[in-house]
């Protein structure tokens, strides 16, 4: 499969263009990094690629078709801030099973303790909550993953554990991953190529 963004631009309500003419393509099985300074628009671009936000101009295509608007989304975004990505009125078991039912093996590989399933989101740390968001995003219908600073809030050991399970699954299922990060060491380790945000953007 091929995920493509063509000439994407985003203009805020105040009329300011955050970016214009962003084009990128990502194939199944590819792991590509995006690096850029804080505030340049990486998260906004990630939201557009995963269908959460409409661009002001340009188009995102999945195998030459527009992104689907209903059902399980094949491009899954993992946010930098997991507390913004969960329903705080739901317990963790319901959040986890929102789109599919992750198996025990996945929960173990992501370090999710079963006792956490009965808690509310605010009874978990950011890192613990993020493990649920990763599991939730890895459903069998996921084709591409947009990992926006996915493990930034985690310690080095947890970070390595989560990336190891994500990379294992990506390899087995031939997922494409876009890794948005400030962490040069991580980008170098997991990505086959790394793009500077400003090199794909012409303001
Ligand atoms: N409605 C809005 N009007 C004007 N500017 C906005 C609006 N919404 C967001 N912005 C600005 O757009 C910029 C891009 O934010 P975004 O989160 O995409 O950047 P980022 O590169 O992911 O940053 P970071 O690395 O710090 O997470 C920010 O400077 C933000 O203040």
| 45 C-alpha to ligand 1 centroid (Å) | 10
In the chain, domain spans: 2-199
Question: What pLDDT score does 69 carry?
Answer: 87
Question: What pLDDT score does 201 carry?
Answer: 61
In testing the pocket of ligand 1, which one of 13, 18, 37 has its CB within 8 Å of the most ligand atoms?
Answer: 18
Query: Using one digit for the tens of pLDDT, what is the confidence trace for 85-140?
Result: 999 999 999 999 999 999 999 999 999 999 999 999 999 999 999 999 999 999 99
**pTM > 0.90: yes or no:** yes
- Which homologous superfamily does the CATH classification assign to the domain defined by 2-199? P-loop containing nucleotide triphosphate hydrolases (3.40.50.300)
Residue ranges around ligand 1 (CB below 6 Å): 12-14, 18, 36, 38-44
Q: Token pair of 110, please? A: 């992501």
Q: What are phi and psi of 60, to 5 degrees?
A: -110, 130
Looking at ligand 1, which residue's alpha carbon is closest to its atom 10? 12
Q: Token pair of 145, please? A: 């993953």
- Cα dihedral 117, 104, 28, 150 sign: positive
Question: What pLDDT score does 202 carry?
Answer: 52
10-residue mean pLDDT series, the chain (203 residues)? 96 94 96 94 96 96 93 93 96 96 95 97 95 96 97 89 95 97 94 90 53
CB atoms under 10 Å from CB of 145, counted, come to 24
């Amino acid at each position: 499969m091929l995920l493509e963004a063509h000439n994407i631009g985003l203009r805020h309500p105040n009329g300011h263009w955050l970016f214009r003419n962003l084009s990128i393509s990502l194939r199944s099985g590819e792991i590509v990094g995006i690096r850029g300074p804080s505030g340049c628009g990486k998260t906004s671009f990630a939201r557009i690629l995963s269908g959460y936000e409409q661009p002001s101009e340009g188009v995102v295509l999945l195998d030459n078709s527009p992104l689907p608007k209903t059902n399980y989304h094949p491009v899954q975004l993992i946010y930098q801030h997991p507390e913004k990505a969960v329903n705080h009125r739901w317990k963790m078991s319901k959040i986890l099973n929102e789109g599919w039912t992750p198996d025990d093996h996945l929960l173990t590989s992501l370090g999710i303790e079963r006792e956490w399933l009965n808690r509310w989101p605010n009874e978990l740390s950011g890192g613990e909550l993020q493990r649920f968001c990763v599991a939730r995003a890895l459903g069998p219908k996921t084709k591409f993953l947009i990992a926006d600073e996915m493990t930034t809030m985690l310690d080095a050991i947890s970070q390595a554990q989560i990336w190891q399970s994500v990379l294992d699954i990506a390899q087995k299922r031939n997922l494409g991953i876009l890794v948005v990060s400030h962490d040069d060491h991580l980008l170098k380790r997991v990505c086959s190529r790394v793009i500077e945000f400003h090199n794909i953007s012409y303001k």
